Chains A and B, each alone.
Chain A
Amino acid sequence: MRISLFSLLSIFFALSFSLSASAEAVVFTANLGVGSRGTQVIALQQFLNQDPDTRIASTGPGSPGNETSAFGQLTRAAVIRFQEKYTSEVLTPVGLSQGTGRVGSFTRTKLNMLSAPAPIANAPVVTPPAVVPPAPTVTPTPAPIVIDNKVTTAERIDIYSGDKMLANIKNRILSALNESIASRDTATATMPTITAADIPSVVVGALTPQSGSPDARISITGRGIRGDSVVYFGSDYIVRTLNTEYSGNFSFNVPSIPPGLYDIAIKTGTVVSNTALFVIRDPKNPPVHLQSVSPSNISYGDTLTITGSGFSPQHNTVITTYQKFTNVSSPDGKTLVIQLAPESITSSAKIGKGTRQISMILQVVNEYGFSDSKKSFTMTL
């Protein structure tokens, strides 16, 4: 039987391919940075050592064959070289031009693409036999959205359960207040008793900053947050890993999920916090700028016109001191119109003498970001 040289070469390369693939197929699932430890770090160092451009070290700890489980400064430097080698896929999408040395979502995506069984980017370069047709030109495709931040069926919760507890407190107090106003009695209002059981034991106080691109680090302040807490981005996405800051506070890295405005809730054990707004920014979107609000003084139920730029066609949230509006539309992107009739003022507005002027401020937030300023106005009751 005649076996051609090409057939032998094909068999040889096929065997090499399968052996190589089984050794190199690593899936990076965790964010890694200086101080990280574990098998993912070993795998990362092994992967980086395959490319002379990203080699951890040529001798000693971290060098090929001497990979360690510790992510130190040498690993960080190698990750920076890796990120800058693949700038267009790792750094540009998040608006960076220099590597960070931290393995986040986009870096992981590129690592996983390169370490996937096929194609193998680091396969030995060989001159193909003349009979092998040239490989077709492949147009690079954008990095796929990482789906490991999707909420699983078991993780699905009502992220607004903490908000509902707070709304219940608000309603009870307003009810008591309205009773006092309706009674025309000048005795001290009787307020409801609020116990610890009425308040969620996990509370999000602030996210700093309130917006960011994928992989940005966001600090959380609040109560009841622990290292094993998880962060929900709306009902569909989740961040399962919190970082512990030197201050004792916690932080998380913005996941690579679709840009937009998200309600953030934190779950510790079975308790769900209140929600806070957060925007995952898309660098292509314009900033949200507030120009003016008019008129500067209104009556209860009047409309208020907000001018500026960077308003979303459909999904603007206008937060005022006494009332919040969601999904306010702005067909021209420059104007928003709201009708102010806060529930907490309804009873007072009915009996108002037109002598009390109350101050309010407003802020706009949409999928592009938070407004660059807040505007004040007054309402006469």
Chain B
Amino acid sequence: MAFPSLSHAQVPFGGLDVFEFPCTCSPFMFTLFAPMFFGPIPLAGALAVPDTPTMFSFYELFPTAWALGTFTPGIQACWMYAVLGCFPVPTLGMMDPFTGTSL
């Protein structure tokens, strides 16, 4: 599993948290943002969000919350369990701590 490093660029983004599911093979949540803005064109995109109670106290991400923050692209952090092993669920990257929400 990959972890963020300081050599990765952090990308600012904003977006509407549409829904989430837990990554059952890694301590992250798959979170879909639609729209998601990190450039001039609105897109939909998924990020892996650390799933720990400590992180929740910062994020408090709920579906329909508007998030503003940064993510580190290119990190494959969401893995799902499928009996014979774990498979990767593609995301744009990993959300960084201290992302704010509208809640």
Contact = CB atoms under 8 A, between A and B. Distances in A.
Interface of A: 166, 169-170, 173-174, 177, 180-181, 183-189, 191, 194, 196, 198-199, 201, 203, 205-206, 208, 221-223, 274-277, 319, 321-322, 324, 342, 344-345, 348, 351-353, 356, 358-359, 361, 363, 374, 376, 378, 381
A359 B56 contact: yes
Given A181-B80, A361-B56, A169 B21 contact: no
B35 A345 contact: no
B18 A166 contact: yes
Contacts of A324: 63
A359 B53 CA distance: 6
Given A170-B19, A198-B44, A374-B60, A187 B24 contact: no
7 contacts: A169-B32, A170-B32, A205-B102, A223-B42, A348-B22, A358-B29, A376-B53
B51 A358 contact: yes
B56 A187 contact: no
A381 B80 CA distance: 12
Contacts of A186: 82, 84-87
Interface of B: 14, 16, 18-22, 24-25, 29, 32, 34-35, 37, 41-44, 46, 51-53, 56, 60-66, 80-90, 102-103
- Choose among B21, B56, B83, B90 the residue with the greatest number of A CB atoms under 10 Å from its CB: B21
A189 B21 contact: no
A187 B66 contact: no
A348 B81 contact: yes
Contacts of B53: 359, 376, 378
B32 A188 contact: no
Contact of A199 (B21, B22, B34, B63): B34
B35 A174 contact: no
Interface centre among A194, A208, A345 (most CB of B within 10 A): A194
A67 B15 CA distance: 48
Nearest to B50: A359
B19 A199 contact: no
B9 to A, nearest CB: 23
B31 to A, nearest CB: 10
A381 B29 CA distance: 14
Contacts of A194: 34, 43-44
B81 A321 contact: no
A191 B90 contact: yes
Contacts of B42: 196, 199, 201, 223
Contact of B18 (A170, A223, A277, A361): A170
Nearest to B36: A199
Contacts of A352: 24, 81
Nearest to A169: B34
A82 to B, nearest CB: 36
Contacts of A276: 64
Contacts of B44: 169, 194, 198-199
Contacts of A198: 34, 44
Given A196-B35, A206-B102, A321-B63, 18 more contacts: A166-B19, A174-B21, A188-B89, A189-B87, A191-B46, A198-B34, A199-B35, A206-B66, A208-B102, A222-B66, A223-B35, A321-B20, A321-B29, A322-B22, A352-B24, A352-B81, A358-B24, A358-B29
User: Taking each of B46, B63, B65, B86, which has the highest tally of chain A beta carbons within 10 Å of its own beta carbon?
Assistant: B63
Given A181-B80, A186-B82, A223-B42, A345 B52 contact: no
Given A180-B87, A276-B64, A322-B21, A173 B32 contact: yes
Of all A-B residue pairs in the complex, the 3 with the closest CB atoms, nearest first, are: A206-B102, A205-B66, A344-B21
B95 to A, nearest CB: 14
A177 B21 contact: yes
Contact of A351 (B16, B37, B65, B82): B82
A352 B81 CA distance: 8
Contacts of B64: 274-277
A224 B5 CA distance: 36
Contacts of A345: 21-22
A322 B103 CA distance: 16
Contacts of B88: 188-189
Contacts of A274: 16, 64
Contacts of B25: 356
